[in-house]
Structure 1
């Protein structure tokens, strides 16, 4: 039995970028043919992009996508591949893969299961195709079968699962495909990135090849396609329960092709060099965030980023990610291509730090409550990565606002009586001036909110939450603090040295009060454990307390206080979460109501449930 060259491709697409999307797919098809690929799996909805949202409800978008098919079919000489797009059939919209071989359409597979969990809302747009049903569909006057199809191609009987189809065990399309004698399953996917999610995918693909006695091919989308979701571009091929081909994830390139030679009798030998290693969570985090920032900058056509650099952990993390964007972009694309992609061709001959300086503004905005330690830490970090650094104080603005309200109320404000207001006015006074710098430089303002702050509302609306993009708001503070130490020691960011020595603090109260975040809230390592159970796992206050009490993380009375505090703060701060800037989805869950976690703005706040504690 001869070998067949089989592979997958990942593509970085953008909703409504018809010309660009088409050209990238054509380049993939040309590259595949050039390299002798015979069977190629393309990602899910790669013609339109997965993130078209309610545009999928329109009549014209599926029609536009279908009109591009003849141009792509013309590029498939000697190649079997999947052209994936939304198709409207008998008034209903389906998520489909048009199967093409050697410039001829063989038929159309339609996805059978829709994702409706976490960040997914597919049933809003798509309909599940009925199991076993095959009907006719017309393209340019020719009629082709559409539905629950398999295809005989040489030594292969080819079947399909599109993304969610494969996750619907124990009864999934592959179960029925095995009964039909299918020995090659192609899985076009648009599976969003989350740290360490690849471990679940690897297990899925390995087990699928073993359980269904087939060669299993998986191809995922790539990049920050539409603003929030990141796709890691994973490509895998498995036989006999073993991954035989796997690429490295989170590429800055517009597309990647990954292929190998496989036998239909599954006798293909293992080659460790063809299987990229799995990265740690600490390694994945900067790769994903850097790629997302790169795509966000170039797709929004702005000139870079601006950041209020406080000398704290969150803003430091955002700063490192911009530096990583430049570093990784240059490493993967070359300096000339990277600078062209972000709209700065004139920087192609400049040193890396000068590129960072041109596209990245940072500013330390101090008050009488700020310390020399945080100022020096911020400046040291900015200088170390090459960012443009400004420093100014906002005391005059704070005093002006305070004076106006004191006159209106006819009394002096005091920390004893007006603590929260006096803290918040400092954070809000920073917003107008940093926005002004952002507008002048035509950049995007980064906010530094993390997930832990989102949980309990530890942020000032229209202050530190003010901005265009919140890159780390799906990541908890406990992880961020650990990662910054890793970034200093393992990634060479010595500029983090002073920041890693400081306890997290908002520096909004007088310095003699020695304010810290954990004193205001609770230890972050405790908060993240409560959060996982309460928000990720949807457990009640009593269930959370009972489970964590058994873990013996802290004294029982203190744990009870922290569980109560978490649920109360969570309940009263949903309005803040509703107003957070767009955020990248980086972890297994987030608290953004526009993607993962919805909660009523008004509720009884777990009153009866907390009474049980």
Structure 2
């Protein structure tokens, strides 16, 4: 920053005369690349921009971005992964490395971000990175939270050779869905303005100064200029990259903590492609990857784009703790792309001028330009997965992270013979396939984790197949009833367990059920009966719930005992997996504290239709023919006695199909519709009078039937809403998840909907519609 006497303030805090810049010997050898801070219109004598450079600057540069499997509050582990990513980037020839959002502490720290200790430990880990000379010789964009003037900011710390160039706070915070950044951070509300940040003492000695630049600025090198935006800022209408591009910033870095949602990558990539296609430039996207301690899976997909084309893309789902991608890009392509007259006029008229932090460190290399073997990375076709593949890969990778970091011995799933528990078990098998593939590829961290978990064949013996691994870390249990359970569901459970290799137990719970039932009989002198035996609805529900809750207790009992009973060295316990799908949660069609109560639920935000498509895909892709039997079976809870004239059916019990549940669930959450608004929408979408196209598979109902469906949906949602407050944490996969944790915040005690004003509005609208239909038909 230029002072009144014409001198330029270095980031170290030392004042040098302009002439001193010509003598690099006055700067410490390790810090010669750190030169000065200037404002637009005050060129630095040494750090001429590439536009006015008198010497031959290179135009080919190699840049790196990464996906890191960080873990919230894993301080030393997170720092080690950051250092490894820097070293890999350097080894690939990169001179700029970008990391994920809040990578030092991990994105999912939640309310730990309110604790003073967290900020201290972040600076301690940053100091460790800055002192590591293997991290020199490359520009670093590192994510961490920073406190400034008693406010907390989500920041990018831009570093070079053990020094901080500047700190760039996030301006637009993510505050919807699963994100609550406004709870933890303050947005930087001063575009293109900076202040001086007072460094903590533990950094002052290595910085050689007490202050660094803090705010919305960019970094200028002799050959180019780069600026940072963070995650949510990309999604805003007036994203920072627009103003930066118009001010000559050629490289934009975006550091994200973006979690997985089915088919979300397509939306994310389109935004980045459009940003660089419209503005031109080089865009580096970094993201966290894996489970960092919450119900979210961060789906990596680090990317490098040039002028709207993808030139490098990392994996979306992976067991690699550190994944670095690089690309060689041509700066001249950006300048040529931006040569349009209209863009030049906009840039000339723009008042959005950024303060530039100058450095003599060059991103390009004359050697690189002279090496004719080095060419710019060509455009590639982006990689996308189908919904079925995403379920298999995302949930599989998430479960592996959860298992290896929990310190437990494996998973247990109660198999019912239905498609939901079948899907959960198949996801665990998918996990085992992913793990065995990583072992075959030589992933040392995965090999170490497998050796720690799979002990039944002896210490250090690695399973060779997914089925062999499955048998060591996955147990399944079928808990039947003699009169309620069918031979078909029992056989399907047995066939699936054999196909995937799980350690399977087949038992009946009649003795426990009868003992629990007799307790009520003896205490109340009253014997409850099922509906088919002449009992009331309340009696019927009570007897069903006894069975369901016994299964939950039994599942946890076996989960705690099985490793020891099987002779696993060191014993251990199993994590119990739940299998309630998103439709059942919306409708409340499950027993509170039954097998839906578990440690984690991998399918809790996935609807029945997607689960069926996943199973149909897995039948062929995993070569498990028995999965076909699950697809053709009628969904049933099997909690009531089976007779020749009666078999319990889920959809009959619920009064709506799973397809209808999915539609209404999306309208409730994604479209933000209440009862009246939903009826107004569905009375058209489901109209029996509508003209139906070849791809129209929506229901066809009379207006009165649609009104009845909508009313039942909200009635049962309301009276069962309390169940969501205790529901097992579910892996987040859908934007209409009813997850009570922080994604879908609602009361759990509602006034009766049947008497509500919204239902009266539906009745009035229905009457108006029927009068109009009658008049039309007449």
TM-score over 0.5 (shorter chain): yes
The answer as to whether partners of 1:224 and 1:296 remain within 8 angstroms in 2 is yes
Of 270, 274, 277 in structure 2, the residue corresponding to residue 210 of structure 1 is 277
The answer as to whether partners of 2:329 and 2:377 remain within 8 angstroms in 1 is no
The answer as to whether partners of 1:247 and 1:275 remain within 8 angstroms in 2 is no
Please state if 1:136 is matched with 2:244.
Answer: no
- SS of residue paired to 2:606: coil
The answer as to whether partners of 2:475 and 2:503 remain within 8 angstroms in 1 is yes
Once residues 622 and 758 of structure 2 are traced to their aligned partners in structure 1, the CA distance between those partners, rounded to angstroms, is 45
Of 314, 319, 327 in structure 1, the residue corresponding to residue 420 of structure 2 is 314
Structure with greater Cα Rg: 2
Please state if 1:476 is matched with 2:618.
Answer: no
Once residues 49 and 151 of structure 1 are traced to their aligned partners in structure 2, the CA distance between those partners, rounded to angstroms, is 25
The answer as to whether partners of 2:225 and 2:248 remain within 8 angstroms in 1 is yes
The answer as to whether partners of 1:253 and 1:333 remain within 8 angstroms in 2 is no
Once residues 162 and 336 of structure 1 are traced to their aligned partners in structure 2, the CA distance between those partners, rounded to angstroms, is 30
The answer as to whether partners of 1:567 and 1:605 remain within 8 angstroms in 2 is no
Residues 1:125 and 1:291: Cα distance change in structure 2 (over 3 Å): same
**Counterpart in the other structure of 1:532:** 666
TM-score (norm 2): 0.76
Once residues 379 and 373 of structure 1 are traced to their aligned partners in structure 2, the CA distance between those partners, rounded to angstroms, is 10
- SS of residue paired to 1:260: strand
> What does the per-residue CA deviation read over 1:71-97, in whole Å, with 9 as the maximum and x for residues that have no partner?
222333221121111111111111111
1:269 to partner: Cα distance = 6.3
Matches within 5 A, 1:256-295: 256-266=323-333, 271-272=378-379, 274-295=380-401
**Counterpart in the other structure of 1:424:** 545
Gaps of 5+ in 2: 1-57, 335-374, 454-458, 564-572, 687-698, 763-778
Matches within 5 A, 1:235-384: 235-266=302-333, 271-272=378-379, 274-334=380-440, 337=444, 338-342=446-450, 343-344=452-453, 346-367=460-481, 368-384=483-499
**Counterpart in the other structure of 1:159:** 227
Once residues 495 and 106 of structure 1 are traced to their aligned partners in structure 2, the CA distance between those partners, rounded to angstroms, is 60
- SS of residue paired to 2:383: coil
The answer as to whether partners of 2:59 and 2:332 remain within 8 angstroms in 1 is no
Once residues 52 and 377 of structure 1 are traced to their aligned partners in structure 2, the CA distance between those partners, rounded to angstroms, is 42
Of 520, 523, 548 in structure 1, the residue corresponding to residue 682 of structure 2 is 548
Of 186, 198, 209 in structure 2, the residue corresponding to residue 127 of structure 1 is 186
Please state if 1:177 is matched with 2:244.
Answer: yes
Once residues 154 and 250 of structure 1 are traced to their aligned partners in structure 2, the CA distance between those partners, rounded to angstroms, is 37
1:610 to partner: Cα distance = 2.0
Once residues 202 and 217 of structure 1 are traced to their aligned partners in structure 2, the CA distance between those partners, rounded to angstroms, is 12
Once residues 713 and 332 of structure 2 are traced to their aligned partners in structure 1, the CA distance between those partners, rounded to angstroms, is 56
Once residues 410 and 447 of structure 2 are traced to their aligned partners in structure 1, the CA distance between those partners, rounded to angstroms, is 12
- SS of residue paired to 2:605: coil
The answer as to whether partners of 1:33 and 1:77 remain within 8 angstroms in 2 is no
1:336 to partner: Cα distance = 7.6
**Counterpart in the other structure of 1:191:** 258
Please state if 1:610 is matched with 2:772.
Answer: no
Size of the aligned set, in residue pairs, is 611
1:352 to partner: Cα distance = 3.2
Please state if 1:117 is matched with 2:176.
Answer: yes
Once residues 269 and 254 of structure 1 are traced to their aligned partners in structure 2, the CA distance between those partners, rounded to angstroms, is 28
The answer as to whether partners of 1:45 and 1:84 remain within 8 angstroms in 2 is yes
Once superposed, which parts of structure 1, at least 4 consecutive aligned residues long, lie more than 4 Å away? 267-270
**Counterpart in the other structure of 2:354:** none
Once residues 93 and 429 of structure 1 are traced to their aligned partners in structure 2, the CA distance between those partners, rounded to angstroms, is 48
The answer as to whether partners of 1:215 and 1:266 remain within 8 angstroms in 2 is no
> What does the per-residue CA deviation read over 1:130-181, in whole Å, with 9 as the maximum and x for residues that have no partner?
2233112225222210111101023221111111111121x22223323422
The answer as to whether partners of 2:76 and 2:125 remain within 8 angstroms in 1 is no
Of 443, 456, 467 in structure 1, the residue corresponding to residue 574 of structure 2 is 443
1:424 to partner: Cα distance = 0.9
Once residues 119 and 279 of structure 1 are traced to their aligned partners in structure 2, the CA distance between those partners, rounded to angstroms, is 23
Matches within 5 A, 1:45-56: 45-56=102-113
Please state if 1:16 is matched with 2:73.
Answer: yes
Once residues 163 and 59 of structure 2 are traced to their aligned partners in structure 1, the CA distance between those partners, rounded to angstroms, is 24
Once residues 59 and 600 of structure 1 are traced to their aligned partners in structure 2, the CA distance between those partners, rounded to angstroms, is 33
- SS of residue paired to 1:459: coil
1:279 to partner: Cα distance = 1.1
Residues 1:148 and 1:336: Cα distance change in structure 2 (over 3 Å): closer
Of 580, 583, 586 in structure 1, the residue corresponding to residue 733 of structure 2 is 586
- SS of residue paired to 1:483: helix
The answer as to whether partners of 1:215 and 1:239 remain within 8 angstroms in 2 is yes
Of 528, 549, 573 in structure 2, the residue corresponding to residue 413 of structure 1 is 528
**Counterpart in the other structure of 2:765:** none
Gaps of 5+ in 1: none
Once residues 626 and 429 of structure 2 are traced to their aligned partners in structure 1, the CA distance between those partners, rounded to angstroms, is 12
1:491 to partner: Cα distance = 3.5
Question: What RMSD, in angstroms, separates the aligned Cα atoms of the two structures?
Answer: 1.7
Once residues 445 and 529 of structure 1 are traced to their aligned partners in structure 2, the CA distance between those partners, rounded to angstroms, is 30
The answer as to whether partners of 1:46 and 1:83 remain within 8 angstroms in 2 is yes
Matches within 5 A, 1:27-46: 27-46=84-103
